[in-house]
Amino acid sequence: MPAYLDSCERCGQYDVAPSAGIADGDGIVCGYRCPACRVVWTCSWMTVPGRITPPDTTTDRHVAALMHEQAAINRAHKHPARDTPAA
């Protein structure tokens, strides 16, 4: 089964494999570095059974930082603050 491959929006490089991925509820946040132009990005996927899961850590600290930041943003969106008074 394929991994969570993505394409680079900057240079068009396709089938870029994630450097790492971390579980995020029913999904997974993957971090990528383009092998061609070196740009870093993340992508949030729904977990697909049988698909190759990337390692949850990477020595690429830039990718790791971006990936964890995106996972935190996703969690914040799924669990909005409930103590905000109604307008």
- Where do contacts with Zn ion occur on this chain (CB under 5 A)? 8, 10-11, 13, 34, 36-37
Smallest distance, Zn ion to C-beta of residue 6, A? 11
Tell me how far, at minimum, the Cβ of 73 lies from Zn ion, in Å.
23
- Closest to Zn ion by CB, 6 vs 24, is 6
CB 11 within 8 A of CB 37: yes
Residue 18 has what DSSP assignment? P
Question: 59: which 2 tokens?
Answer: 């020595």
Between 8 and 63, CB nearer to Zn ion: 8
Question: Would you say 28 or 32 has its CB closer to Zn ion?
Answer: 32
Instruction: Give the Å distances, CA to CA, from 74 to 13, 70, 87.
Output: 26, 6, 25
